[in-house]
Structure 1
Amino acid sequence: MNERTELTDLRDLFADKPHPTADRLAPARSALLAEARTKRRPWTRPAGLRRLVLAGGLVAAMTAGAIAVQTFTPSAPANAAEVLRLAADAATATPWPQPRDDQYLHYERIAETRSENGVPNVGPRHITGEVWQSVDGSRPGLLWHKPSKSRPQDHEYKELLIRCRERGAGRPAYADLREWPTDQEQLRHKLAERGNEMVPNKDTVTQTWNGVLNILGSPVPPKQQAAIFKIAATLPGIETEQLKDATGKSGIAVTRADNRGPGGDISRESLIFDKTSYVLLGGQELVPGQGRELWSITRTQITDVLPAWSKSVKRRGCV
């Protein structure tokens, strides 16, 4: 059976059921893995259950109190490395069909900027962008920028996303990331290279962390995402805190400080995870003199084509 047939059968089999997104299916297996971890550790955390994933089929059954699972609460925080290891488990727990190179990743990217300590000309601003991203990067993508309810005066626009060959390779396409190694040393080198392209002349740890943040800013294949979380868990200087993502959802954040601000001021860059499932919700960047920026990626799906109205959309620039 070829890949196209398998995806078609999968779609037909569950056509009348909720879409198996990470938010729907990840909690159970990651939570059970987390519970197993607690049996080998002296600390435990309060229990609850949201979903049970039945082995051998993509079926989510709602239950209540049937199995004790691990959750995160401020009174019993996990350390940052443990949060990232649980996030690695969650990344590979969700069944996710392998998209073909000629398909698109369709997702929503939400960003919010806020001023901090009286920073002028920054926020508040809330942006929702609907994105169609070519899996292998060979075809133009699509962005639909939507004004927020809080700022209805913002301009709505739609644009084709064309790669700028004159600016180099840019961020790797999803298909490129699928070929990235999961070997820790090889992947660490790739992340450090990417981080140095973003902010050059930093120490290796900071380069690696910057590479982690950049790559995780768009959908990443599950195996590579899990391997990236495991590398991030080994970096010194990471800590946990409670933050809300760009949708307003409260999560547990893994944060690292860096002197990227103006004049060497300390900035704080974070990845934000669901408190129960440890699925990645988004991130935050707090830079003195530049304000606070939050971002989240939601509703990731796979689609074969761009919407029909994209044929009338003109290119505004390249990315």
Structure 2
Amino acid sequence: MGELQRMYDEVPPPSPEVLAEGRARLVALAREGGRRGPRRQWHRGLLAVGLAGGVAAAAAAVVAARGSDDGPRETRPVSAHEVLTRAAAAARLEPELHPRPGQYLYIRSVVAWGPGKVAPGKAPGRETRERWVSVDGSKPGLLRAPCRGQGAKVCDSPIPIEDESAPVPRPGSQLWLVRAMPGLLKHWKSQVTAPAPTPVATPGHDRPFGEWNWYGVSELVGDYLPPKMRAEVFEFLGDVPRVKVNEHATDAVGRPAVSLSQDADGGRLELMFDRSTYRFLGSRYLDRTPRPEGGDWIGTAESGAGEVKTTVLKVEVADRLPARS
């Protein structure tokens, strides 16, 4: 016991993010009925952060079913509904931010692009971006990213207000979404169950995000929604038909993921979730239309790379914009 006490004193407690991830794994394990995989050798370092996190790591993106003879376990692919149900449970465990009018959401993400299946053999690119977005849409925001063709130097670009005549909180802002989301979800559910497809409205016009669209929802969950509201969006997506599952995806930083996708208008958009905890990671867009030779996809992701991945690393609340670089 003395040795355990010394280990406890020497090892700092896990961060809130680690605890949230461990809780999500426990939820996933509980949904499997507490079943464990074959006995394995645990690294001694796991003891310092608690046995619960190590045991919960057995939850994976496939569901195991033990045979009647208690023999080798068979696996079956998970469904989109199952992934999203678990993603909703994981979302409810995330720490909640409390942004106020006049503040900003700070989002740091990694964007990786090319070559995809459209341009095989072309070199890929990758960069870290930072955004400061007005919580209520009342102020311009800021994008900080590597300068084009200038190596490691970063450049700042303003994010303008789309419609200064609109009342605050302006449509599309985080505070506007919090107010509008219950009605939007109700409207979207009626569209998903409708026998015929409905027209898609363009965000920022008469009814921003008002019509159901797989691409539009990916933008909503890509930044920040309160945990309960994000979970409700995932639960809604769980009832959307014709969603494909890929259990062997990777995100923009190379982490294993399970992705859910739909194809539309010559492209495919995937939502990516951690393969063990089902925490939302980001998205991947694949352009499935043929493109002519050429294109500077090494320099920027928005130049027709054929494939663009975005992984969200951090979301925080900021009181003001940083000093311009």
Whether TM exceeds 0.5 here: the answer is yes
Asked whether the equivalents of residues 171 and 215 of structure 1 are also in contact (C-alpha less than 8 Å), the reply is no
| 1:65 positional shift | 5.0
| 1:139 positional shift | 1.6
The aligned counterpart of 1:253 is 259
Distance 1:121 1:131, change over 3 A: farther
Amino acid at match of 1:133: V
Q: 1:302 aligns with which of 300, 305, 317?
A: 317
| 1:274 positional shift | 0.8
How does 1:169-318 map onto structure 2 within 5 Å? 172-182=172-182, 184-186=185-187, 188=189, 196-197=201-202, 207-241=212-246, 242-258=248-264, 260-261=265-266, 267-288=267-288, 289=290, 290=304, 291-307=306-322, 309-310=323-324
The aligned counterpart of 1:56 is none
Asked whether the equivalents of residues 22 and 52 of structure 2 are also in contact (C-alpha less than 8 Å), the reply is no
The aligned counterpart of 2:83 is 83
Asked whether the equivalents of residues 109 and 310 of structure 2 are also in contact (C-alpha less than 8 Å), the reply is yes
Is 1:24 paired with 2:18? yes
The aligned counterpart of 1:111 is 111
| 1:88 positional shift | 0.8
Distance 1:131 1:193, change over 3 A: farther
Distance 1:251 1:168, change over 3 A: farther
| 1:18 positional shift | 7.2
| 1:282 positional shift | 0.6
- 1:275-316: CA deviation from partner (whole Å, max 9, x where unpaired): 122111111111223511111111212222222x23xx7xxx
- 1:17-66: CA deviation from partner (whole Å, max 9, x where unpaired): 8764xx434323322322332239xxx564999xxxxxxxxxxx821357
Amino acid at match of 1:216: V
Q: 1:34 aligns with which of 18, 28, 32?
A: 28
* Secondary structure at the counterpart of residue 119 of structure 2: coil
| 1:155 positional shift | 6.3
* Secondary structure at the counterpart of residue 246 of structure 1: coil
Amino acid at match of 2:130: E
How does 1:89-104 map onto structure 2 within 5 Å? 89-104=89-104
Unpaired runs of at least 5, structure 2: 1-11, 43-47, 63-74, 206-210, 291-303
- 1:226-277: CA deviation from partner (whole Å, max 9, x where unpaired): 111111111111122121111221211112233x11xxxxx32111111122
* Secondary structure at the counterpart of residue 219 of structure 1: coil
Asked whether the equivalents of residues 273 and 280 of structure 1 are also in contact (C-alpha less than 8 Å), the reply is yes
**Percent identity of paired positions between Structure 1 and Structure 2:** 26
* Secondary structure at the counterpart of residue 172 of structure 1: coil
| 1:221 positional shift | 2.4
Q: TM-score normalised to the size of structure 2?
A: 0.68
* Secondary structure at the counterpart of residue 234 of structure 2: helix
* Secondary structure at the counterpart of residue 197 of structure 1: coil
Asked whether the equivalents of residues 193 and 211 of structure 1 are also in contact (C-alpha less than 8 Å), the reply is no
Separation (CA, whole Å) in 2 of partners of 1:233 and 1:172: 23
Separation (CA, whole Å) in 1 of partners of 2:261 and 2:234: 13
* Secondary structure at the counterpart of residue 234 of structure 1: coil
- 1:130-149: CA deviation from partner (whole Å, max 9, x where unpaired): 1112211112211111269x
Distance 1:30 1:142, change over 3 A: same
Which structure has the greater CA radius of gyration? 2
| 1:214 positional shift | 2.5
Separation (CA, whole Å) in 1 of partners of 2:21 and 2:257: 14
Separation (CA, whole Å) in 2 of partners of 1:224 and 1:190: 19
Asked whether the equivalents of residues 26 and 279 of structure 1 are also in contact (C-alpha less than 8 Å), the reply is no
Q: TM-score normalised to the size of structure 1?
A: 0.69
Amino acid at match of 1:247: V
Distance 1:238 1:28, change over 3 A: same
Separation (CA, whole Å) in 1 of partners of 2:134 and 2:319: 10
| Root mean square deviation of aligned Cα | 3.9
